A and B are shown apart, each in its own frame.
Chain A
Amino acid sequence: MKRLGPRIEEKAVRVGLWVLTLITVGVLLFIIFFIMRRGLPVLSLEFLTANPAEMGKSGGIFSTVVGTAALTVLAILIAAPLGVGTAIYLTEYTWGGPVTRVIRFGAECLAGIPSIIFGLFGFILFVTKLKFGWSILSGGLTLAFMLLPTIIRTSEEAIKSVPASYRNVSFSLGSTKWQTVTRVVLPSALPGIITGIVLSVGRSIGETAATIFTAGSALRMPTSLFSSSRTMSVHFYILAREGISMSNAYGTAAILIIAILGINVLTYYLMNRFIKRYS
């Protein structure tokens, strides 16, 4: 068969690539549209602020919102300081020796572990052995470990992108290492660090496999760290799988998507403003 001339090949390939790209984009938009079309009508202030009734068949999703928020806040409170601290240590206090390599290897391995294994681990350690039971505490700790590698990685990148000249200036003016880190490096790296943390928040909101085995799936409003609680994504999963209420399922999914997308958009907007103000 005669080889297609390069021009024709070029055009054919371009068309093909664009088709595939549009399929990709189309699929995503379709998913969002599909959920929103059936989910948005379900949303109302009442849906958000009322507690679920009849196993979720009626009522709202308020207790799951609280549960999700509690888990996420706890996870971030643990993971953010640990993650940023690790990133600071790796970039500012070490020179790439064996210690650094070990730490980085640990973080990268953690990043690849599937969520179900975290769920398994959290179940055995927190729920069972440490006797925390299915609780916000167990769930929050497990989620914290899941988010740790992402926060380390994004914080490291943010810190590394602070120009070396800033550090030199700070030192030459008579600052200690810690002063340089806190007064010059961290403020400049802050947008990147916060973006990483917010991305982790989004991830933790959507996380199901790890939370269902550690925080459980209790529908009532959590009253303490040791209460079991259901997150929105777990609630959605149960509603859908058990067929309890399709419309409420769509509503929950819509809220999930709005929350995650909303957080991402808000962060990019805030970070852009922040960056503009300081440079």
Chain B
Amino acid sequence: MAGAVKKRGNRLERNDRLVRLALLVIAFSAVSVLVVITIFIVGQGTPIMFRYGFKSFLAGSDWYPSEKLFGLWPMIVGSLAVTAGALVIGVPLGLSCAIVLTEFSSKRVRGVIKPIVELLAGIPSVVYGFIGVVILVPFIRETFGGPGLSVLAASIILGIMILPTIISISVDSLQAVPPSYREGSIALGATRWQTVKMVLFPAARSGIIASIILGMGRAVGETMATIMVAGNAAEVPGSLLAPVRTLTSNVALEMSYATGEHREALFATGVVLFVIIMVLNTIANATSAKRRKQP
């Protein structure tokens, strides 16, 4: 045996090393792309922010590119408003669905509802926006007044769009709670809802919070649907029924014809978006990490 086991050429090992190197290079592709994107967006967008001053850029309430006024405040408020609205709609509906799916339905019912929810995730955002324009906006206009294109419309549509995110992650978190928790609680005489409220929710809390934050990220980043139903007026919305423009819509609407400083300002909008999303993602990751560390 001794002889045969001596290294018969380094061929195999060299191959393995080459493969490993190639895969390492490939693996860095994701990082490189991220780095390149960050460099570009930040590189194109920050000079103008310095030039006009952060305060006037972020807090200025006038956005008139033709007069060199680049105040993003209305859009920042806009994004926050529709996101908050989306959460008001999406979280109760989504969590209810998640709870019903995991705790209150039989396997058969689950087999029907779960695929339907997953289908929700596959519908393109433009279709959501379209439904909003064709059905929701006229309805709001006729029932509540105002132009119909409003914070309310955007909130409802976005709320529906973030449902799959909230539902699927919450379902995962709830299912990850050890069965012994449930059994223990029921054995002590608690009803199912009491079990959910006092045992499962706290145990799955970080996962549920992570799902909400990710839903927030989705809502903040959504473009097409908001363009179609939000009205796109670059003013701080005065009420739920007022039209509003989000940061994303700001970029999408003016990209095609913006030049020079105007274009830089749009990149700066992108930078603001970028920062918001990164912050949200980091928080979501931190809460998920906490979840993984929990017993």
Contact = CB atoms under 8 A, between A and B. Distances in A.
B41 A9 contact: no
A32 B22 CA distance: 45
B130 A17 contact: no
Interface stretch (B48-56, B68-76, B118-126, B180-188): B118-126
B26 A81 contact: yes
B27 A85 contact: yes
Contact of A257 (B12, B41, B123, B220): B123
Given A34-B135, A237-B126, A237-B224, A264 B255 contact: no
A25 B44 contact: no
Nearest to A28: B120
A120 B119 contact: no
Classify chain B: how many residues form its interface, as a range. Answer: 35 or more
A120 B130 contact: no
A162 interface: no
A2 B190 CA distance: 19
A82 B255 contact: no
A20 B192 contact: no
A109 interface: yes
A118 B92 CA distance: 31
9 contacts: A6-B194, A28-B119, A110-B34, A112-B280, A114-B248, A240-B126, A257-B123, A257-B127, A264-B118
A273 to B, nearest CB: 17
Interface stretch (A43-51, A58-66, A87-95): A87-95
A138 B129 CA distance: 26
Given A24-B117, A115-B223, A209-B223, A178 B15 contact: yes
A119 B253 CA distance: 12
Interface in B111-145: 113, 116-120, 122-131, 133, 135
B223 A116 contact: yes
Nearest to A240: B130
Contacts of A256: 124, 127
Interface string A22-33: 011101110110
Interface stretch (B80-88, B96-104, B199-207): B96-104
B78 interface: no
5 A-B pairs closest in CB distance:
A114-B221, A206-B124, A106-B31, A20-B96, A85-B26
A107 B15 CA distance: 27
B285 interface: yes
A14 B96 CA distance: 9
B194 A213 contact: no
Interface in A250-264: 253, 256-257, 260-261, 264
B34 A17 contact: no
A17 B251 contact: no
Interface of A: 6-7, 9-10, 13-14, 16-18, 20-21, 23-25, 27-29, 31-32, 34-35, 81-83, 85-86, 88-90, 93, 99, 102-103, 105-110, 112-121, 123-125, 145, 148-149, 152, 176-178, 202-203, 205-209, 213, 233, 236-237, 240-241, 249, 253, 256-257, 260-261, 264
A209 B36 contact: no
A205 B124 contact: yes
Contacts of B37: 110, 113, 117-118, 121, 145
B124 A120 contact: no
B30 A148 contact: yes
A264 B120 CA distance: 12
Contact of B122 (A99, A178, A202): A202
A80 B111 CA distance: 30
Given A117-B37, A120-B270, A109 B278 contact: yes
B96 A206 contact: no
A120 B268 CA distance: 11
Contact of B228 (A9, A82, A145, A241): A241
Nearest to B31: A106
Nearest to B274: A117
B88 to A, nearest CB: 13
B15 A176 contact: yes
A253 B127 contact: yes
B267 A120 contact: yes
Contacts of B28: 103
Contacts of A207: 124
A260 B122 contact: yes
A121 B40 contact: yes
Contacts of A202: 122
B23 A206 contact: no
B191 interface: yes
B177 interface: no
A34 B131 contact: yes
Nearest to A84: B26
A113 B274 contact: yes
A103 B116 contact: no
A9 B100 CA distance: 16
